[in-house]
């Protein structure tokens, strides 16, 4: 049996998890790197701290996405089952709901009733869940897709500051890491705005400011504990 194509909502959910995972990976890893690098100049120690945090962050983000999207999927399935029962016990009201849906969008009452009758005669469950919940029957958010995309994105995001701090020459470690973080969080801000149809400039500036604040806070923590 040929597998149906994923809906836009399913693809967007996977991309959302990836963008959030990447941003969290960048900020979490740079936070640890800055705190540790202030206290010691031992590159190996800094690397071990950074790579440990990278893995912890990636798996934490993945497990969080899995739990969150699993809950969403359960809610969607529950809504579908509820509508399946209502179609058996209260079919006329369900038809009226569909007709009302089209009336609210400017269709005349007579035409709305005709549309509702035709759609409900073909596939009542598919029609009612789309009208009430904007769901495509059989297409549920995948917790595994969200978890894996978040895991990979968080890992890749954390590599930006980790590589900059541990691979660049000593005199370039700090400025290089700061530049890497600013560019990478700016990119995730851009992607999140594009994905959510938001304001690109605002999202980039907001992410960069959060990134800078994160670095300042953790640098200060490192100074205090040194």
pLDDT tens, position by position, 76-110: 899 899 999 999 999 999 999 999 999 988 889 89
CA 42/CA 47 separation, integer angstroms: 9
Contact 138, 84 (CB under 8 A): no
User: What pLDDT, on the 0 to 100 scale, is given for residue 1?
Assistant: 38
Q: Which helix (H) or strand (E) holds 193?
A: helix 173-195
Question: Over 90: is that where the pLDDT of 48 sits?
Answer: yes
pTM for the whole thing?
0.77
């Amino acid at each position: 049996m040929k597998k149906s194509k994923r809906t836009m909502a399913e693809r967007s959910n996977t991309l959302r998890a990836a963008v959030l995972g990447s941003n969290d990976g960048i900020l979490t890893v740079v936070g640890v790197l800055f705190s540790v690098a202030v206290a010691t100049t031992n590159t190996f120690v800094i690397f071990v701290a950074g790579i440990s945090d990278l893995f912890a962050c990636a798996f934490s983000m993945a497990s969080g996405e899995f739990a969150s999207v699993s809950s969403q999927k359960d809610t969607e399935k529950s809504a579908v089952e509820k509508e399946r029962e209502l179609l058996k016990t209260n079919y006329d009201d369900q038809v009226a709901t569909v007709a009302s849906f089209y009336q609210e969008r400017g269709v005349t009452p007579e035409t709305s009733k005709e549309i509702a009758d035709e759609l409900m005669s073909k596939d009542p469950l598919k029609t009612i869940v789309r009208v009430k919940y904007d769901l495509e029957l059989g297409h549920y958010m995948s917790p595994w897709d969200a978890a894996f995309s978040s895991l990979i994105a968080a890992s890749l995001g954390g590599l930006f500051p980790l590589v900059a701090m541990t691979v660049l020459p000593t005199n370039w470690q700090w400025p290089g890491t700061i530049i890497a973080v600013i560019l990478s969080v700016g990119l995730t801000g851009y992607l999140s705005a594009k994905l959510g149809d938001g304001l690109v400039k605002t999202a980039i500036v907001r992410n960069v400011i959060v990134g800078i604040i994160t670095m300042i806070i953790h640098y200060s923590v490192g100074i205090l504990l040194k």
